[in-house]
Chain A
Amino acid sequence: MSLRSETGPYFGDFGGRFVPEPLIAALDELTEAWELAKADPEFLAELDELNRNYIGRPSLITEVPRFAEHAGGARIILKREDLNHTGSHKINNVLGQAILTKRIGKTRIIAETGAGQHGVATATAAALFGMECVIYMGEVDTERQALNVARMRLLGAEVVSVKTGSRTLKDANNDALRDWVTNVETTNYIFGTVAGPHPFPSLVRDLQKIIGEEARQQVLDLTGKLPDAVAACVGGGSNAIGIFHAFLDDSAVGLYGFEAAGDGADTPRHAATITKGRPGVLHGARSMLLQDEDGQTIESHSISAGLDYPGVGPEHSWLASIGRASYRPITDAQAMDAFRLLSRTEGIIPAIESSHALAGALELGKELGPDAVILVNLSGRGDKDMETAGRYFHLIDENAVQS
């Protein structure tokens, strides 16, 4: 049976709907609307038009030989989601869900965001469709991603700085859910990743799988064969599912998700959910989770705001459980080395999130040898990360006087 045919609510033992009853009607409405939309030529045509003429799809693939010299000589090919309008893969999902919002007659959209990429994409869609937009973002993240906060506000969105809990992505998620419970009559929740209650894991996956569908054909066209390995970073897991999905039934293609290991997966400060977590419920789905003995969520840590999440999408937990995909930890230091290496060898500044996949590809290349072809999802660009990188690499002259 095809691994590509899973539609939820369950992926093996994972998934489901662990949410308060008041949200069930809205989730049912979205599920039904999505089932109708994805079979509706009018919806597909509208999405296709936006993909081509607004996002800039299909995104390129770029082979990076100077970077690959550091990966045991394997061929490394990047899927350039960083070149999408708004700078990451997040826009693929958001535009689809914005059209869906219009179809179900709602006028206000809300979203959670970590690094701000999903928030910027959602604010962009709100501007494009003339919708009211509120973005929930943890206070820690509004500080480390101040530029993205400014972008969202410029686009007309209200940004709510969430001050509860760990003041990061999971708490932004909680407040977005609270808003949704309260305003569900007028409001659609544009979920940013393949986590959450059904239908979000399969809905967001369906809107992101275009990444892998394009890349599979592009790699075939370039090399005449499928890649040996596909690499992606995993926070909630939307860019990873997006590039994995087209390859799920290509059993010779290895699928590798790279989780944020922060200071190290064996230290208390990491976000390596599949590597170090165990099954539990967070934000509406049963999946792998970083939690203590009592089931209290443990705060995650990563230099990358977009991967700083203690949960992960249920389809990833399932792919890990059946051994179809492997998940490995990448530390902050490894990711930042890869961030600098791609910048210096190829003139491409990646998002710190995507740098985890690049660091993973460096490892994979050495393991698989010089004949291997590795496809890496470059899920976003690094403009938003310049302040973090500037501090990390001491690139900003503290004493400089601006004239």
Chain B
Amino acid sequence: MSAHHSATTASPVEAAIAATKTSGAGALIGYLPVGFPDLQTSIDAAIALAENGVDVIELGLPYSDPVMDGPVIQEATEVARAAGFRLRDGFTAVRAITERTDVPIVLMTYWNPVMQYGVERFADDLVAAGGAGLITPDLIPDEAAEWLAASERTGLDRVFLAAPTSSDERLRQAVEVCRGFVYAVSTMGITGARQDVDSAARTLVARLRDAGATSACVGLGISTAEQVAEVLEYADGAIVGSALVKALADGGVSGVARVAAALAEGTRRTK
């Protein structure tokens, strides 16, 4: 059932990513925070992603202490929280988006909100809303017993991070427990556009392959179609966040649609 047993997987996220490799170079995964700039616009923007070439939607739940996020996402999630974001809005958004698109949705959330909501209850409500799983940036598999059990029971995908600094043993553990994909952190740092996507990402994905990964997506610092294409030379998916959030902030839903379509060009190129 894990990411290295793709033949037997029931994961819609892994299936969606795998499908892109027959039609193109790989998957584009797009991040937007729920509730930015308001709940309805964030729903419309996520649907615009799906309609403009994004293969998996990553919806972030705004949180007070987002230590993995850079300034663009920090500012957006602060706007959402100041406007009254509640955790339950995440499920509302997932439900509204899945009514209008088949593109799978994973939530990206820091761990404390899930713990406070109740891990089992969170899993059940996410399944009921039609969500596919969770990306947990500050939860390592070592601390995840409760979530591993809840995701096993519900079949939700669980995406943990793998880093250039992770030992081979920890990479094997990540591949073993991840379902959907492994989130390969491209560079040492936080979210935000960068000029160059680190060569560390290529090495990391190669190490993940050695550890058995069949579904490895690269995130952090990717903001152009060229970078997407470059990452898809070796990875199964490219994750874009801050560039989309900035497009939404600057140009609204039509702005984020244009940027998503431009980024998706990077998935069509083959070498």
Contacts and interface: CB of A to CB of B under 8 A. Distances in A.
B143 A164 contact: no
A370 B112 CA distance: 46
Contacts of A16: 143
B167 A25 contact: yes
Interface string A278-289: 001111100001
Interface stretch (B16-24, B60-68, B222-230): B60-68
Interface string B129-164: 000000001111011000000000000000011111
Given A164-B74, A181-B189, A280 B65 contact: no
A20 B68 contact: yes
A171 B63 CA distance: 13
B65 A297 contact: yes
A18 B188 contact: no
A293 interface: yes
Interface string A117-130: 00000000000000
A181 B143 contact: no
Interface string B113-135: 11111000000000000000000
A295 B140 contact: no
A21 B143 contact: no
Interface string A165-193: 10000110010011001111100000000
A174 B170 contact: no
A294 interface: yes
A296 interface: yes
B112 A295 contact: yes
B67 A177 contact: yes
B101 interface: no
B174 A21 contact: yes
A187 to B, nearest CB: 10
A16 B161 CA distance: 17
A261 B70 CA distance: 33
Tell me which of A16, A181, A297 has the highest count of chain B C-beta atoms within 10 A of its own C-beta: A181
Given A184-B188, A282-B112, A294-B86, A18 B163 contact: no
A21 B112 contact: no
Contact of A164 (B78, B111, B161, B166): B78
Contacts of A184: 165, 188
A19 interface: yes
Interface residues of A, number: 34
Interface of B: 63-68, 70, 74, 78, 81, 86-87, 111-117, 137-140, 142-143, 160-167, 170, 174, 185, 188-190
A26 interface: yes
B167 to A, nearest CB: 7
A24 B165 contact: yes
A174 B65 contact: yes
12 contacts: A17-B142, A19-B140, A21-B174, A164-B78, A174-B65, A178-B67, A178-B68, A181-B190, A280-B115, A294-B113, A295-B116, A296-B81
Tell me which of A24, A170, A171, A284 has the highest count of chain B C-beta atoms within 10 A of its own C-beta: A24
A22 B165 contact: yes
A289 B11 CA distance: 35
A-B pairs, top 7 by smallest CB distance, nearest first, are A295-B116, A22-B163, A25-B165, A295-B113, A21-B161, A182-B189, A295-B112
A26 B170 CA distance: 13
Given A18-B111, A182-B190, 17 more contacts: A17-B143, A20-B68, A21-B140, A21-B160, A21-B163, A170-B65, A174-B66, A178-B190, A185-B188, A282-B65, A282-B112, A283-B65, A284-B138, A293-B116, A295-B63, A296-B64, A296-B81
B49 to A, nearest CB: 24
B138 A165 contact: no
A291 B78 contact: no
Contact of A21 (B67, B113, B166): B166
A171 B71 CA distance: 13
Contacts of A24: 140, 163, 165-166, 170
B209 to A, nearest CB: 18
Given A24-B170, A184-B188, A281-B115, A18 B165 contact: no
Nearest to A278: B116
Contacts of A281: 111-112, 115, 138
A17 B160 CA distance: 14
Interface in A1-59: 16-22, 24-26
B23 to A, nearest CB: 31
Contacts of B74: 164
A18 B138 contact: yes
Contacts of B188: 22, 181-185
A177 B188 CA distance: 12
Nearest to A296: B64
